[in-house]
Structure 1
Amino acid sequence: MEFNPGVNIFPRKFDITGSAIVTNCVDLTMANPHVLSGTLTLAGTGNAACAPTTLGGSADVTVNITWLLSDGSTDTSTVALHVQATAIPPTVVVQGVVTADRFAGDTALASLLAGQANLLDCLTDEGVTQASGTVTALLYSIP
């Protein structure tokens, strides 16, 4: 993910963009064709400062996921997410709803395991401009 401007010790608004490969998919919908993997892009805005200088921050993000299906075709879902981060304890809560296509109406939940950022970047005007890590996500509906 990229932050523009970067996140530093002073709370400020930023744009967030990114992309990822979606792997290890388990499709329990019993749909045919079923989901094998995918790619995603994301874009949104947020307001935060580097922890532990703040109690956290938040962002609203739109994620577009292009699913590769078992018959070789693709399908695209759009997910509206709200991200809430707290410094103490260090927690990132991601939740939202699928707003379009295959899983429309499903709830989206995710947990983030972010890679280490150079905390010294928090002390610069430019701030932390990139972050990467592992995301575990779940799309589900309750009948």
Structure 2
Amino acid sequence: MALDTSFIGRELPAHSVDVERGRLRFFAKAIGETGAAYFDLEAAKAVGHRDLPVLPTFLFCLDMEKPDPFALVRELNIDIRYVLHGEQGFTYHAMAYAGDTLTFTSTVTDIYSKKGGALEFVVRKTAVTRDGELIAELHNSLVVRNPKAVK
């Protein structure tokens, strides 16, 4: 069954997240970061940051804190058993820091298929803003495997 391409251009409900120092430290430790600026406020300030900086891929974690992170999957009637993480990318425009409130606004930018419908792709772009200032753009795609497609 082909995914509904009328979702292309749909803006999903925005959500905002407060960036907390403790979570930044935990994430830095989890990914093996050793730079003092990601753990110690004074070390961060000594190298020119106003607070602990947000590590680049942490924005993806914050985006998943939306009230219903799988709403789009349900709305598109996608069976989660056949979903694969396809691609993820980040474009940065400014630094984000502990203490910031970041707003995430996602838009479905494309839905297409390959291999005769065996694989379908849902592409999203997410603008991350702080007080209206663009901080980053997240790009990701889900791959949906169609088990009924002819191989």
Tell me if both proteins adopt one fold, taking TM over 0.5 as the criterion.
Answer: no
Bigger proportion of residues as helix: 2
TM-score range, shorter chain: 0.3 to 0.5
Compare relative contact order (CA 8 Å, sep 6+) and give the higher one, 1 or 2.
Answer: 2
Bigger proportion of residues as strand: 1
Q: Which has the larger radius of gyration?
A: 2
